[in-house]
Amino acid sequence: MDLFVVLVICLSILIFLFLWNQRHAKGKLPPGPTPLPIVGNILQINVKDFSKSISKLAEDYGPVFTLYFGMKPTVVLHGYEAVKQVLIDQSEEFSGRGSLPVVDNINKGLGIAFSNGEQWKQTRRFSLMVLRNMGMGKRTIEHRIQEEALCLVEALKKTNGSPCDPTLLLSYAPCNVICSIIFQNRFEYSDENFLTLAKYIHENAKIVSTPWIELYNAFPSLLHYLPGSHNTLFKNMTEQRKFILEKIKEHQESLDLNNPQDFIDYFLIKMEKEKHNKQSEFTMDNLITSLWDLLTAGIETTSVTLRYGLLLLLKHPEVTDDGQDEIFEINRVVGRNRSPCMQDRSRMPYTDAVIHEIQRYIDLVPNNLPHAAAQDIEFREYLIPKGTTILTSLTSVLHDGKEFPNPEQFDPGHFLDKSGNFKKSDYFMAFSAGKRVCAGEGLARMELFLLLVSILQHFTLKPLVDPKNIDTTPLLKALGSLPHFYEVCFIPV
């Protein structure tokens, strides 16, 4: 039997299985575009801007529809009401984590972000407890961020007002903050291990935001063995895990069971307490993956938001020109002789609005991390089987035209009332919402305010090109949104 006949037989079997699966699939899924055998709807989607394709499909199929990535169905939610119903109103039923093969390949369903069931519940609950013990949301961690902000300011001063790429510089401060929580120490910005860690995390964030990774997640079995950027991603993740394991070994040697100093200590003590429980979720593999989750989420999301935020401020100098609202607020409330603190925020509504508008506009994770039905669910007039992947379009909420007039324009007024006071919005879901809301939301909010205000307190931002020529559309917009490369001059004031 020649190769051609074998391929035809295999293809025929796959098509039969696909059609059988659609006909006999459990549940009643929402309608959607007709999928092709094997590839599903992937050819009907712009993988370079997945969120835009979803918005167009929602015009035809409504706020709830089904897409097939390969032979796997995914229910998509578009618009505030549908997204809110899943993330908040029926948060428990939709609290599962959908499969993301590019991450699952390394994490194996462990950790805080990509685990499920009892493992997720116990790991997340424990992690939140430890983060609170370490000062998240309290003055303890605020002081740590203030100290790191001063280090960042000194590093920016060393650029001497010359053009520089802020990418890695802006990652150092959030990296050191999270390292102080999980490793109990910060690194000098010249430390080789520190620089390598920051480089891996930045490179990974760039890779996972490419169309290739969208294709990999749809066809992991096919693409896994082919050359591609996923191999670089896996290599970087493996190196990160080696770094983490070395830190754990150092902690094991110096561990004081009665005096935990950081996240690793707390976890190792928990492992010791449960060492006779064969069903314990607190294992070495889970510790490594949980630390990887904290590092990745705690560094890149904040640094990308800062980097994108500075680009938007360069594009819109009216926001930061001397005498304008934001700089006026900083001068009036904080001045030049002390560090900003979180108590300042309530007296700085315009600055608060600018930070919220940065997060709204950049739409950092356009379609959220995938959720999954934790059980068979009756949702509207549909029956969604347990395990079905759920995508919630955060773009459709953050860029809702009724809540935010002219949503494609950067306008801090979206978060200000007529009197100039800060205005909250239920549509602000930059950190997701519900059971799977970002575990580090409180830390990230604190970092964004203190770091951005510290930068603007000490520097005038000078672009290298006319602001009219600055492109603030995303360079990449798949799993995450990333800004175009740019350089900026930090001019001391």
Q: Which of 397, 404, 401, 406 is nearest to 363 (CA)?
A: 397
Under a CB-based contact definition with an 8 Å cutoff, are residues 267 and 85 in contact? no
Specify whether the CB–CB gap between 470 and 312 falls below 8 A.
no
Distance CA 459, CA 489 (A): 9
**Tokens at 34, concatenated:** 């007709």
* Range list of H helices, 345-436: 349-362, 395-398
β-partners of residue 379 are 382
Give 75's strand partners.
66, 390
The rounded radius of gyration (Å) of the Cα atoms in the chain is 23
Instruction: List the one residue out of 89, 91, 95, 93 whose CA is nearest residue 119.
Output: 95
Q: Where are the alpha helices (DSSP H) in 183-262?
A: 192-208, 211-218, 220-223, 229-254
Of 65, 149, 165, nearest to 455 by C-alpha is 149
SS3 378: strand
Amino acid at 93: E
Residue 179 assigned ligand-binding role: no
The amino acid present at 424, given as its one-letter code, is K
Q: Which two tokens stand for residue 171?
A: 């990652």
Of 470, 438, 423, 425, whose CA–CA distance to 302 is shortest?
438
Q: Measuring CA to CA, which residue among 350, 353, 365 is closest to residue 430? A: 365
With contact defined as beta carbons under 8 Å apart, do 166 and 298 qualify? Answer: no
Name the binding residues for heme.
438
Task: List residues forming the annotated binding site.
Answer: 438
